[in-house]
Amino acid sequence: MTAALLVLTTCPDEGTADRIALALVEKGLAACVNRCGPVNSIYRWEGKVERATELVLLIKTTRERYAELEQAIRHLHPYELPEIIAVPIAAGHPGYLRWIGEQTTPPLIA
């Protein structure tokens, strides 16, 4: 079975969230991206407590595609230090986990 991951990132607006989600799925780096929110974030940045309204992306991918996925998010994201967190999927519907692997497997070049 493929080592599936759930990757989370937050985005400042709908345009950014949609652009990142679409690029990841189109490039085969993610099988599916769910856009959630808006959410209210409270965090410390440069010595000050900040508040922001953000959208959360729940990204389903594999360990094999993670490095490329992270690079793509960093390239597309407007934040200086975007949240990119990967959580291993320990269990799930076997067919769904297999589908994640199938959708993120790079095509073979003949």
Q: Residue 66 belongs to what domain range?
A: 4-90
The predicted model scores a pTM of 0.93
Residue 85 lies in a domain: yes
Residue 51 lies in a domain: yes
Residue 80 lies in a domain: yes
Q: Phi and psi of 31, rounded to 5°?
A: -80, -35
Residue 106 lies in a domain: no
| Percent with pLDDT over 90 in the chain | 93
Q: State the pLDDT at residue 107.
A: 74
Structurally, the chain folds into a number of domains equal to 1
Residue 108 lies in a domain: no
Residue 103 lies in a domain: no
Residue 99 lies in a domain: no
Give the Cα separation of 32 and 102 in Å (integer).
Answer: 12
Residue 28 lies in a domain: yes
Q: Please report which residue ranges of the chain form alpha helices under DSSP H.
A: 14-26, 66-76, 94-104
The 10s digit of each residue's pLDDT in 38-89 is: 999 999 999 999 999 999 999 999 999 999 999 999 999 999 999 999 999 9
CATH number for the domain that contains residue 73: 3.30.70.120
